[in-house]
Structure 1
């Protein structure tokens, strides 16, 4: 039987060969792009995993410094590559490099915006319109350590203050505009409207008593699916023809809420009242 020549091994297909050729021609562009996309996918993937319960929020947030570092490395590699190209009079290959730099800069800017917010606001997570008498939860329970870890214990201006007093001081300094509002409607009507607004926002209504002027709900935010508990209190004014509304929003995770609770209170009360009028 005649010996047939052995078949040649299959070489790269045109598509694969094209990708390999592109990689050889522009390795730094590929490296920058892969690092940038990988950082974004890793961060949002870890956040999404936390949100659906695959792991805790602490594990999800632990990816933040590493993904930020990866994006920063991508940016540095890209910048160094451009500088070397200029010094050696080489033409910079922009398609992959440029896209990678844009993604890296966008992601770093996204992270930096949160870091700047964290530095500009106090590390508190319990926001209310009434510091002297915050609306109380009944169905929902505040964490036992809600008043722990309030910053300022070593601050000379707050020396001798207990955690709640420090919280009130920091709250007043950062969120002086978060105050009670007056609405020219009876208490029950205000609470019913508040219930509709909460439902429109997708909040879980936990407890509502229109006659007593009380509503509790839970808001879920971000990919991490953080839970913030809300209580709204309406008190009669002017013989029942008007109401004074107070609101409180507390993050279950605690520590620093990055201003999320204050933003929620401002927006909700503005929508509820149709104005930003503050109660006198």
Structure 2
């Protein structure tokens, strides 16, 4: 007589739930990035996906325990459900860790925000009110997000800023070039995070032909928590700008010298 070995129902449900959680996450992110759903609907959708993924993990663990004891079939289904569930829960664990590390902030700036206006202005119906840190909090969390001063002219400093923004692949929305009156130069660009949150950066360059100051703002446009992204972005961008300016000055040592000193610094012409 042939003995039939049944497949664990827990394993079947683990595989089904895991198979539902993955497309829920992927489709929700895709629709949010394409702006086909609102941010509130996106949050609801990924929360539902997280619940389904958690159920898949629970069902997988129960299935594996019962299969071990009973000898039923379903190892593959249970393990696949466990993998899908953990795969979908990994981003929530990641962002949960960031939420524990950083307070719910959406707007970081190195100077007065009024000097760094967004293209997408705060206060409109589509943008939540900005959440900001005190100066002491910002200094503690993001100590390198500070105004930069360079012994390099405004125009060339602004050119390096534009190049860095282009290298980062950010979507430039507005540019105010340096001019003869030495008015502040501004550039606004937008960034989209992997889940589809939109963030805007503003860089302001002031100065003259021999020196420049750089300020930066980074703000979330449709989120209520940036998970530290804005402050970290400012720190990284300004660190990269420090490197770019240092390299430029190294390669052009006579750039800001007076004409007489620059002429003396040039190598003597070779005898004919």
Instruction: Name the structure 2 match of 1:113.
Output: 94
Alignment of 1:140-219 (within 5 A): 140-144=119-123, 148=129, 150=131, 167-200=134-167, 201-211=169-179, 212-219=183-190
Q: Paired residue for 1:221, among 178, 192, 209?
A: 192
CA contact (8 A) 1:82 1:92 kept: no
Check conservation: 1:187, 1:235, Cα contact below 8 A: yes
Q: Could you tell me how far apart the structure 1 residues matched to 2:186 and 2:73 are?
A: 61
Deviations 1:226-277 (A, max 9, x none): 33222112233xx743322211111112521111111221222222221799
Query: CA offset at residue 54 of structure 1?
Result: 2.1
Cα offset, 1:141, TM superposition: 4.8
Q: 1:92, 1:210 → 2: CA distance?
A: 71
Q: Which residue is equivalent to 1:65?
A: 47
Unaligned runs of 5+ in 2: 247-272
1:247 aligns with 2:216: yes
- CA distance 1:188–1:56, shift in 2 (3 Å): same
Q: In the alignment, is the contact (CA less than 8 A) between 2:15 and 2:81 conserved in 1?
A: yes
SS of residue paired to 2:162: helix
After superposition, the C-alpha distances for 1:14-67 in whole angstroms (9 at most, x for unaligned) are: xxxxxxx99x63543332222113212112211211222322111011112211
Q: Does 1:104 align with 2:68?
A: no
In 2: Cα distance, 1:34 partner to 1:276 partner: 55
Contact 2:64 2:75 in 1 (8 A): no
Report the TM-score when normalising by structure 1: 0.73
Structure 1 residue ranges without an equivalent (≥5): 1-20, 151-163
* In structure 2, distance between residues paired with 1:226 and 1:218: 14
Contact persistence 1:124–1:254 (CA under 8 A)? no
- Report the equivalent of 1:44: 26
Partner of 1:234: 205
Q: Deviations over 1:149-176 (max 9, x none)?
A: 74xxxxxxxxxxxxx7x64343233223
Deviation of the 1:140 alpha carbon: 1.9
Contact 2:11–2:78 at 8 Å: present in 1 too? yes
RMSD of aligned C-alpha atoms?
3.0
Contact between 1:135 and 1:248, CA under 8 Å: does it hold in 2? no
Segments of 4+ moved more than 4 angstroms:
145-150
